[in-house]
Structure 1
Amino acid sequence: MQSQSNNWFGLPKMLFWGYIAVAVFMSGDGFEMAFLSKHITDLGFTPAQSALVFTVYGLAAAIAAWSSGVVAEIITPQKAMKIGFCVWVVMHVLFMELGLGLKNFPMMLLFYGIRGLAYPLFIYSFVMLIVQTVPKHQVSSAMGWFWAMYSIGIGCIGSYLPSFSIPYMGERGTLWFAIAWVIVGGLIAMFCLRNVGAESEKAKLTTKEKITELTRAVTILYTNKNIFLACLIRIINTISLFGFAVIMPMLFVGRLDFTMSEWLQIWAVFFFVTIFTNVMWGVLGEYIGWMRQVRWFGCVGCAISSLAFYYLPVTFGHNFWIAVIPAVMFGITVAAFVPMTAVFPALEPHHKGAAISIYNLSAGLSNFVAPAIASVALPFVDIVGVVWIYTGLYLFAGVLTLIIKVDQPARLSVSERKDAERYGDALDPV
Structure 2
Amino acid sequence: MTSVSSTHIDPRSEAAPARRHWTERIGIPRPLAWGFIGLLIFMIGDGVEFGYLSPYLQDHGIGAQRAAFIFTVYGTTAAIAAWLSGALSDMWGPRRVMWTGLGVWVVCHALFLTIALTTVDYRLILLTYGLRGFGYPLFAYGFLVWVAAATPQQRLGTAVGWFWFAFTGGLPTLGSLVASGLVPWIGSYATLWVALGLIVVGGLIALLLVHEPTGHRRLAPEGERPLVTLLGSLTILWRRPRIGVGAIVRTINTAPQFGFMVFLPIFFTETVGFTLEEWLRLLTVMFTTNIGFNLVFGVIGDRMGWRRTVALCGGVGSAISILALYYVPAAAGPQYALAILVAAFYGATLAGYVPLSALMPSLAPEHKGQAMAALNLGAGASVVAGPAIVAVFLGPLGVVGVMWIFAVLYLASAAMTAFLKLPDEQGDGSAHSDAHEEVGERQTAVSAPQGE
TM-score (norm 1): 0.81
**1:302 is the counterpart of 2:318:** yes
Paired with 1:311 and 1:34, the residues of 2 have a C-alpha distance of: 20
The aligned amino acid for 1:176 is W
Deviation for aligned residue 1:194: 2.9
Deviation for aligned residue 1:31: 3.3
Instruction: Tell me which of 88, 109, 113 is aligned to 2:105.
Output: 88
Deviation for aligned residue 1:118: 1.7
Deviation for aligned residue 1:252: 5.2
Cross-structure match for 2:132: 115
The aligned amino acid for 2:77 is A
Unmatched tracts of structure 2, length 5 or more: 1-16, 426-449
**1:127 is the counterpart of 2:127:** no
Deviation for aligned residue 1:127: 0.2
Cross-structure match for 2:285: 269
**1:27 is the counterpart of 2:44:** yes
Paired with 2:62 and 2:270, the residues of 1 have a C-alpha distance of: 28
Cross-structure match for 2:27: 10
Q: How does 1:40-51 map to 2 (within 5 A)?
A: none
**1:209 is the counterpart of 2:209:** no
**1:218 is the counterpart of 2:234:** yes
Q: How does 1:7-406 map to 2 (within 5 A)?
A: 7-34=24-51, 54-100=71-117, 108-166=125-183, 170-197=187-214, 202-203=219-220, 205-206=222-223, 209-243=225-259, 262-313=278-329, 316=332, 318-374=334-390, 376-377=392-393, 383-406=399-422
Deviation for aligned residue 1:139: 1.9
Higher mean C-alpha deviation, range 280-289 or range 400-409? 400-409
Deviation for aligned residue 1:347: 1.4
The aligned amino acid for 1:339 is P
Deviation for aligned residue 1:74: 1.6
Instruction: Deviation per CA, 1:247-292: give whole Å up to 9, x if none.
Output: 6567655655555555544333211211211122123322222112
Whether contact under 8 Å (1:202, 1:210) holds in the other structure is: no
Cross-structure match for 1:416: none
Paired with 1:110 and 1:149, the residues of 2 have a C-alpha distance of: 29
Whether contact under 8 Å (1:25, 1:184) holds in the other structure is: yes
Paired with 1:156 and 1:314, the residues of 2 have a C-alpha distance of: 23
Q: Secondary structure at the match of 2:155?
A: helix
The aligned amino acid for 2:285 is V
Higher mean C-alpha deviation, range 282-291 or range 64-73? 282-291
Unmatched tracts of structure 1, length 5 or more: 410-427
The aligned amino acid for 2:196 is I
The aligned amino acid for 2:302 is E
Deviation for aligned residue 1:402: 2.0
Deviation for aligned residue 1:407: 4.7
Deviation for aligned residue 1:36: 5.0
Q: Secondary structure at the match of 2:193?
A: helix
The aligned amino acid for 2:166 is M
Paired with 2:106 and 2:411, the residues of 1 have a C-alpha distance of: 42
Q: Closer, same or farther in 2 for the Cα pair 1:353/1:102, shift >3 Å?
A: same
Instruction: Deviation per CA, 1:177-220: give whole Å up to 9, x if none.
Output: 333322221221222223343666645534x7122111123211
Q: Closer, same or farther in 2 for the Cα pair 1:304/1:124, shift >3 Å?
A: same
Instruction: Deviation per CA, 1:377-420: give whole Å up to 9, x if none.
Output: 566666555444433333322222222211589xxxxxxxxxxx
Deviation for aligned residue 1:20: 0.6
Deviation for aligned residue 1:21: 0.7
Higher mean C-alpha deviation, range 254-263 or range 335-344? 254-263
Whether contact under 8 Å (2:55, 2:265) holds in the other structure is: no
Paired with 2:402 and 2:217, the residues of 1 have a C-alpha distance of: 44
Q: RMSD over aligned Cα, in angstroms?
A: 3.5
Whether contact under 8 Å (1:60, 1:116) holds in the other structure is: yes
Whether contact under 8 Å (2:176, 2:281) holds in the other structure is: no
Cross-structure match for 2:436: none
The alignment covers a number of residue pairs equal to 409
Deviation for aligned residue 1:235: 2.0
Q: Closer, same or farther in 2 for the Cα pair 1:383/1:35, shift >3 Å?
A: closer
Deviation for aligned residue 1:333: 1.2
Paired with 2:391 and 2:359, the residues of 1 have a C-alpha distance of: 32
Q: Closer, same or farther in 2 for the Cα pair 1:333/1:126, shift >3 Å?
A: same
Instruction: Deviation per CA, 1:104-152: give whole Å up to 9, x if none.
Output: 7665554443332121111111000000011123222212211221222
Higher mean C-alpha deviation, range 350-359 or range 46-55? 46-55
Higher mean C-alpha deviation, range 171-180 or range 223-232? 171-180
Q: Secondary structure at the match of 1:74?
A: helix
The aligned amino acid for 1:349 is P
Q: Secondary structure at the match of 2:172?
A: helix
Paired with 1:61 and 1:165, the residues of 2 have a C-alpha distance of: 26
Higher mean C-alpha deviation, range 175-184 or range 16-25? 175-184
Instruction: Deviation per CA, 1:284-340: give whole Å up to 9, x if none.
Output: 322222112112211222233234334444565553323332222211111011011
Q: Closer, same or farther in 2 for the Cα pair 1:11/1:63, shift >3 Å?
A: same
Higher mean C-alpha deviation, range 183-192 or range 129-138? 183-192
Q: Secondary structure at the match of 1:10?
A: coil
Whether contact under 8 Å (2:34, 2:205) holds in the other structure is: yes
Q: Closer, same or farther in 2 for the Cα pair 1:34/1:300, shift >3 Å?
A: closer
Whether contact under 8 Å (2:50, 2:261) holds in the other structure is: no
Whether contact under 8 Å (2:95, 2:216) holds in the other structure is: no
Q: Closer, same or farther in 2 for the Cα pair 1:376/1:342, shift >3 Å?
A: same
Deviation for aligned residue 1:80: 1.2
Whether contact under 8 Å (1:141, 1:285) holds in the other structure is: no
Cross-structure match for 2:442: none
The aligned amino acid for 2:357 is T
Whether contact under 8 Å (1:73, 1:128) holds in the other structure is: no
